Amino acid sequence: DGDFPQLQRQAESDITLAEEELKRANERIRHSSELKELGYISEGQVDADRLMLLRIQVALETAKQKFELLEQFTHVRMLQELESKVEEATRTLARSRERSKTVIEQAETKLAAQQATEDLEVTRLNHLAEQIEKCTVRAPQDGSILYPLAADEEEPPPVKHGAIVHQRQHLFTLPSTDSMLVRASVHEAVVHLIKTEQTATIEIDALPGVELTGHTQEISTLPDLQNWRKSTVNFYATKILIDQSNVASLRPGMNAKVEIAIETVPDVILIPVHAVQRDDDKSYAAVWNPVKRREEKRLLELGATNDDFVEVRSGLNAGELVILGRE
């Protein structure tokens, strides 16, 4: 129950009690009046009963007025106060809900932003992990690492601790000793003569007296950048694969001298290159005539050549003597 029903019951109880006391007071007055007429009590006692009756009547009237005030004013005021409190509570609830909605929206927005940040960080973490994994180089075999040489001897090595590297940069080589290559530099004047699968002989500086065999495997189409500052002449890197039967005593990084067989011509006449004379784009040689006992100038048709000898296709017979260094 609320406050008003309790106050209402209290007021009704006060009226009922006052009415009951009023009945008793009236009965006492009547009885006192009879006793006075018979001379048993004095007028003062009757007046006291009348005063008590008046007090009870006043109390009853006060209780009725209080009840009426409670019904007409207090009840209305309490209802208004309660309705006002309800309205205020409703407004407070609405404001609280609005604030809660705003807080929830802000929290959801913040959560979405944090989730987006988390997704971004996870993506970045995965990317970094992938980069770290790709930066981890695992050797497929045992061996020694060979770092590339700097383009200029005065420059620092391109690969060192803390150096910045870029995509497709040659960092190092891990050669396999099961098959060995010689990296030779071929002069631009003769590189057009080099073809793949040409036979070659290799002499290793560290293995004097040992001659190895191999064949050309790859000829670079671009000049060797490591030599471009050292000379105005271009050199082209050529790889020669050494026969497997010869690689047991080899180590990566050894220096070697290579001779490539450009062409193999059997049963030909050869003369030293210094015996050839040039005149008007024609080739001649000074040949000793034993019959006339003097030398004679002979026009020659030349063929293949190397550093020491040149093939004579016509103009000279086998066994004839040529004279070196004559103009």
Contact 312, 271 (CB under 8 A): yes
Domain map of the chain by residue range? 3-111, 181-260, 269-323
The whole-angstrom separation of Cα 171 and Cα 168 is 9
Residue 178's nearest CA partner among 252, 244, 250, 256 is 244
The whole-angstrom separation of Cα 156 and Cα 140 is 28
Pair of tokens at residue 252? 């990566």
Least confident of 56-65, 83-92, 232-241: 56-65
Residue 226 has pLDDT above 80, yes or no: no
Residue 300: the pLDDT is 93
Contact 180, 188 (CB under 8 A): no
Q: How confident is the model at residue 270 (pLDDT cuts 50, 70, 90)?
A: very high
The correct answer on CATH 2.40.30.170 for the domain covering 181-260 is yes
Residue 155: the pLDDT is 65
Q: How confident is the model at residue 66 (pLDDT cuts 50, 70, 90)?
A: confident
Residue 127 has pLDDT above 90, yes or no: yes
Topology of domain 269-323, CATH:
2.40.420
Q: What is the DSSP letter of 186?
A: E
Least confident of 43-47, 91-95, 291-295, 318-322: 43-47
The whole-angstrom separation of Cα 254 and Cα 242 is 13
Cross-strand partners of 213: 201
Q: What value does the mean pLDDT of the chain take?
A: 84
- Tell me how far apart the 2 most distant CA atoms of the chain are, in Å: 212
Q: Which residue in this structure is represented by tokens 């040992």?
A: 210
Residue 259 host element (H or E): strand 256-260
The whole-angstrom separation of Cα 7 and Cα 64 is 13
Q: How far is CA 93 from CA 62, 137, 158, 220, in A?
A: 42, 65, 72, 84
Residue 219: the pLDDT is 94
Cross-strand partners of 258: 202
Is 279 strand, coil or helix? Answer: strand
Cross-strand partners of 199: 215
Angle between helical axes of 43-69 and 3-37 (0-180°, round to 10): 160
The whole-angstrom separation of Cα 277 and Cα 286 is 8
Residue 146's nearest CA partner among 177, 102, 104 is 177
Q: How confident is the model at residue 165 (pLDDT cuts 50, 70, 90)?
A: confident
Least confident of 78-92, 109-123, 157-171, 252-266: 157-171
Q: Which residue in this structure is represented by tokens 């191999």?
A: 214
Contact 135, 101 (CB under 8 A): no
